[in-house]
Amino acid sequence: MRLTLTMAVITAILAYQLGLLDPSLWAKAGVNLVRFIPELGVRWDLAGDALLALYETLLISLLGVSGGTLIAYMLAPLASPLLSPPRVAFIVRTVANAIRTVPAILWAVLFVILVGPGPKAGALALTLYTSGYLAKFFYESLEATNRELYDSLKVIGLEGLPLAFALYSHAKKLIISNILFMLEYNVRTATILGFVGAGGIGYYIVHYLNLLNYQAALTFVVFTLLLVILIDFTSYIMRRRL
Amino acid sequence: MSRSADYAVELKDIFFSYGSNSILRGVNLEVGYGEAVAIMGRSGSGKTTLLKIIAGLLRPEKGYVKVLGHYLQAGGLNSVKGRIAYIPQTLGLIEGESALYNVLLARAPRKPLRFITGLWGGDDVEGAVEALRLVGLNGVGRRRVETLSGGEKQRVAIARAIFQGAVLLLADEPISNLDLDTAEALVNMMVSLKLRGLSVISVMHDRQLALKYFDRVYVLDGGVLREAG
Ligand SMILES: Nc1ncnc2c1ncn2[C@@H]1O[C@H](COP(=O)(O)OP(=O)(O)OP(=O)(O)O)[C@@H](O)[C@H]1O
Ligand SMILES: [Mg+2]
3-state secondary structure of B82: coil
Q: Containing domain of residue B201, as a range? A: 9-227
pLDDT tens for residues B153-203?
999 999 999 999 999 999 998 777 788 888 898 899 889 888 888 999 999
Note whether B62 and B15 are within 8 A (CB).
yes
- Would B20 be classed as within a structural domain? yes
Tell me the pLDDT of chain B averaged across its residues: 90
Distance (Å) from the alpha carbon of B206 to chain A's nearest alpha carbon: 23
- Would B17 be classed as within a structural domain? yes
Interface test with A, best of B47, B48, B81 (most A CBs within 10 A): B81
Pairing of the two strands B36-40 and B199-203: parallel
Percentage, residues of chain B above pLDDT 90: 75
Q: Does B95 touch chain A (CB under 8 A)?
A: yes
Domains and CATH numbers, chain A: 56-202 (1.10.3720.10)
Q: Is the pLDDT of residue B106 over 50?
A: yes
- How many domains is chain B built from? 1
Percentage, residues of chain A above pLDDT 70: 100
- Would B3 be classed as within a structural domain? no
Q: Return d(Cα B79, Cα A201) in angstroms, integer.
A: 58
Report which of A52, A122, A214 is spatially closest to residue A205, judged by C-alpha positions.
A214
pLDDT tens for residues A75-102?
999 999 989 999 999 999 999 999 999 9
Q: Which of residues 132-151 of B touch A (CB under 8 A)?
A: none
* Ligand 2 mean position, distance from CA B46 (Å): 7
Interface confidence, given as ipTM, is: 0.90
The secondary structure of chain A, three-state, reads: CHHHHHHHHHHHHHHHHCCCCCHHHHHHHHHHHHHHHHHCCCCHHHHHHHHHHHHHHHHHHHHHHHHHHHHHHHHHHHHCCCCCCHHHHHHHHHHHHHHHHCCHHHHHHHHHHHHCCCHHHHHHHHHHHHHHHHHHHHHHHHHCCCHHHHHHHHHHCCCHHHHHHHHHHHCHHHHHHHHHHHHHHHHHHHHHHHHHCCCCCHHHHHHHHHCCCHHHHHHHHHHHHHHHHHHHHHHHHHHHHC
- Alpha carbon A180 to chain centroid distance? 11
- Would B4 be classed as within a structural domain? no
Size of interface A-B (CB pairs under 8 A): 76
Residues of B in contact with A158 (CB under 8 A): 105, 108-109
**Averaged over A48-63, what is the pLDDT?**
96
Helices A47-79 and A172-193, interaxial angle, to 10°? 140
Confidence of residue A37 (pLDDT cuts 50, 70, 90): confident
Please judge whether B57 and A151 are an interchain contact, meaning their C-beta atoms are less than 8 angstroms apart: yes
* Ligand 2 mean position, distance from CA B51 (Å): 9
pLDDT tens for residues B110-145?
999 999 999 999 999 999 999 999 999 999 999 999
Q: What is the largest CA-CA distance in chain B?
A: 52
